[in-house]
Amino acid sequence: MISTDIHQAAHLLKNDAVISIPTETVYGLAGNIFSEKAIKSIFNLKKRPLSNPLIVHIGNANQLEDLVTQVPILAKKLMEKFWPGSLTLVLPKKDIVPNFVTGGKDTVAVRMPNHEQTLKLLNLLSFPLAAPSANPFSSISPTKASHVEAYFGASIPLILEGGNCQKGIESTIIGFENDTPVLYRLGSIALEDIEHEIGPVNIKNFEEHKPMAPGMMAKHYAPKTQTITTDNILESIDFYKNKKVGLLLFNQIINSENITHQEVLSFNSDLAEAASNLYAAMHRLDRLNLDIIIAEKFPENQLGRSINDRLKRATASTNTSYVFN
């Protein structure tokens, strides 16, 4: 059920239910971090690997001290600049944070979302929420309540309607190894903007078996339709000219009779607008029974780098599934 009733949402969460909540990045599948029942439900609904940590969402920055043992100076600088917002910090956890939330690791990923409705909800609760993206593991992330409903239907009791997600791709994740900042996931805050605040950041954003943070596995964000990326869109169209082809493009339509449908993410060549529109366009293409989706590679800078990361993982392959028993 799609609803705007945050009090009903709070009631369900207080009773160990899992619901979907909006954020500025993507819709999340949310549950009380201290409820093993709720966290098991999240893993089972998503068919998510148990080693893949969940992000903990808090309603105000003061709650961070309840969850972590220390906050490096550079982390504080990032919080001052980007919270509330689409920045997740990976920090040493206190014992109160359950291991089933962190994938058994001694760190916890935390963020304060920048969505008015969800902040109100979080501040109605006495506990933080774990809230990975509200999609089956490795599928396209949801940026509308209707995307969540299409994935889970009546399997969850409530989807909190919060409009279309403004940023459109997941949060940027930063941790610290020997006091050195490390980027674990490219996201809706550009690497350049992070480095402008704290200086050079190491990039360590692929880990298949024991990821430090969400979004590090090779297969993610993938349509059911076969999808490829290309540097030469016209050459790829010609190669697949006998197929039912859909295009995912940056800033202009391609004139070709060999195309069934095309999605342009920003006619203004605005990378933030393109990121905001990415997943919704992928959902539309995936519903068209195409033979193949051809995605144009984006400029490898600013949010173009984050979009390319999503496209690269969307075209990876895997056949692994997991269930929390």
Question: For the sheet containing 292-296, what is the strand order?
Answer: 227-230, 292-296, 245-249, 261-264
Residue 131 is assigned to a ligand binding site: yes
Structure tokens at 137: 């593991």
Strands (E), 17-170: 19-21, 28-32, 55-57, 87-92, 107-111, 129-130, 159-160
Single out the residue of 173, 171, 203 nearest to residue 275, CA to CA: 171
151 annotated as ligand-binding: no
Q: How far apart are CA 119 and CA 60, in angstroms?
A: 8
Cα angle 173, 174, 176 (rounded to 5 degrees) comes to 150
Query: At residue 302, what are phi and psi to the nearest 5 degrees?
Result: 45, -135
111 is in an annotated binding site: yes
Residue 185 is assigned to a ligand binding site: yes
Question: Do residues 225 and 290 lie in contact, with contact meaning Cβ atoms separated by under 8 Å?
Answer: yes
Both tokens assigned to 54: 């969940």
Cα–Cα distance between 58 and 127 in angstroms, integer? 8
Three-class DSSP category at 52: coil
Report which of 20, 26, 8, 30 is spatially closest to residue 128, judged by C-alpha positions: 30
Is 310 labelled as part of a ligand binding site?
no
DSSP 154: G
Token code pair at residue 307? 């979009």
Annotated binding-site residue? 52? yes
Residue 133 in marked binding region: yes
Give CA separation, 100 vs 54, 105, 125, in Å.
9, 9, 20
User: Annotated binding residue at 171?
Assistant: yes
- Annotated binding-site residue numbers: 25, 48, 52, 57, 107, 111, 131, 133, 141, 171, 185, 221
Binding residues for L-threonine: 25, 57, 111, 131, 171
Which residues define the annotated binding site for ATP?
48, 52, 107, 133, 141, 185, 221
